[in-house]
Amino acid sequence: MTNFEKLKPDQLGTLYDSFKRTVDAYPNNPALRIPKKKDRDYYPEGFEITWKELNIEVDKLKKLYKASNFGIGNRVAILFNQRPEFFFHYLALNSLGASIVPLNPDYKVDEITYLLEHSEADLFINLQSKKKVLEEINLFKSLQLPTIEIDNFHDFIPELKKKTKAKNPTYSTEAAVLYTSGTTGRPKGCILTNEYFHNFGLSYITKGGLLQFDEGKEVIYNPLPLHHANCLSISVPSTILLGGCLVFPERFHASTWWEDIHACHVTSVQMQGIIPNILLKLPFNPLEIKNKVKFALCAGIEPSHHEVFEKRFGFPVVEMWAMTETGRLISDNFEPRKIHTRSFGKVNIGVEAKIIDTNGNTLDANEPGEFVIRNSAKEPRKGFFNGYLKDDKATDDSWQNGWFHTGDSAIYDEGGYFYFIDRMKNIIRRAGENIAAAEIEAIITKHDKVRQVAVMAVPDEIREEEIMACIVLKECQQASYEISIEIIEWCREFLAYFKLPGWILFMDNLPIGTSQKVQKVKIFSKNIDPRKLKNTFDLRNYKKK
């Protein structure tokens, strides 16, 4: 019986409790590993720490946080840029019942300000290189939000003025608030508990079929950011439960991918669909056939790449589906797989799913509709997120008639396999980032030369989708390349680089419905590629950091 199977799920307690069980079981096993990267401004020679050594660092911080009155009800925002010290703080805070709010280091002042204010963070853990950002955030002046630096930490944590109640955190205690893009513009904060993280990890490592894990021996490689659910909600709890090792570079590097896989003794990989596309375009590397990878878990691999990838690199790619809110994944991990389609498999234990129409009626096989899921009829929300922070309406809207509405269009066949069609929500999926069109529209609308704007996704051969802004200029303004550059530079002041429009199309007008809202579905006729229209400007080269 494995370490995590000795207890029932609701007996697992906090992530810190599972961490301590792993420390006892595998003290000398590597827990975290970062590959070498000569030009990185931290650990250029790489980094590795055992579970025993990690425990020492965590317990140091636990004592400091406890002495400073942190506990249940407190939130700590962390902007950390993939640094391993993140785990020291995360697990220390989790041991006391305090919650973390991970921030994307590419966020700009306005975005950071919103998340800090909305989450009501009690402490901000920042990077030394972001000092100038702090100076621009008025929130620090008005709320006097205490700050420490993750890369320049001197064993001092500001004491909270208000003491928390001395309670022991449990399975149901909030562990994190992870912000995910919504359709209303600003990101929504998903409240995530210890149960949620355990459930997500267990849903992965107990799948079976092609997803076979060896406790105490697994080395999971995930090049996706820790402030995303793919890594934070799946890889991290899986590693803790297994007593394995998590390998996490600062980002995906195609040029060093196989060197990292080889040097770090990787046994399994997690990735997004953009990564196989890029790896297949690389010239042959002798290390690619010497890997020890048993499988890759991937969301959204292009079907035409699937078989080619597996034959070239020698391990299966298991397609999966998940959302930050769901606390579980669905995967195509049993043969025969549907690798030439967009199937993401069948439901397993802990998941019930179906396809419904716009009236909520259950649809039959091969009828497209919205994909909805739940844990079970008796406990539909068990293991899911606890709701959207300060947004009960959005939470209620996402749960209807006991089912979580994913906003994804899908079908299923007679064999019970589900197939992804498209996203029903107004979300753009660019290189693994979920981007709300409304958030970008709100920024562009403020430009003094813009009258109307509609932001949407257009295809991209590398990044799956790219952002296009369809803009109606104010009278007396003429469409030009110069104005398109002016607008994108305006956006750069407020938005992370990946949210900037890659294409700008100037139009005479946008279709308006009776509700006075832009009807995006009517902007272009079918079979029209807006990237090729007159007055369309390619700005993708301006999206670089």
- Cα dihedral 434/331/203/292 (nearest 10): -100
Other beta carbons within 10 Å of 47? 16
pLDDT in tens, 293-347: 999 999 989 898 999 999 999 999 999 999 999 999 999 999 999 999 999 999 9
CA–CA gap between residue 211 and residue 316 (Å, rounded): 10
Q: Are 85 and 91 in contact (CB under 8 A)?
A: no
Predicted confidence (pLDDT) at residue 1 exceeds the cutoff of 60: no
Other beta carbons within 10 Å of 180? 18
Exposure string of 401-427, with b = 16+ CB inside 10 Å and e = fewer, is: eebbbbbbbbbbeeeebbbbeebbbbb
Other beta carbons within 10 Å of 37? 18
pLDDT in tens, 65-106: 999 999 999 999 999 989 999 999 999 999 999 999 999 988
Q: Which domains does the chain have, with CATH numbers?
A: 4-410 (3.40.50.12780), 432-543 (3.30.300.30)
- The verdict on pTM exceeding 0.75 is yes
In the numeric block, which tokens belong to residue 194?
């210890």
Could you tell me the pLDDT band of residue 464, with boundaries at 50, 70 and 90?
Answer: confident
Q: Choose the weakest-confidence range: 14-18, 26-30, 427-431.
A: 427-431
- Residue 484's alpha-carbon distances to 60, 179, 455, 473, 480, in angstroms, are 52, 30, 14, 11, 6
Predicted confidence (pLDDT) at residue 469 exceeds the cutoff of 60: yes
Predicted confidence (pLDDT) at residue 529 exceeds the cutoff of 70: yes
Residues in the chain: 545
3-state secondary structure (DSSP) of residue 308: helix
Amino acid letter for position 240: I
Q: Residue 489: CB partners within 8 Å, gap ≥ 6? A: 542
- Residue 253's alpha-carbon distances to 59, 157, 222, in angstroms, are 33, 35, 11
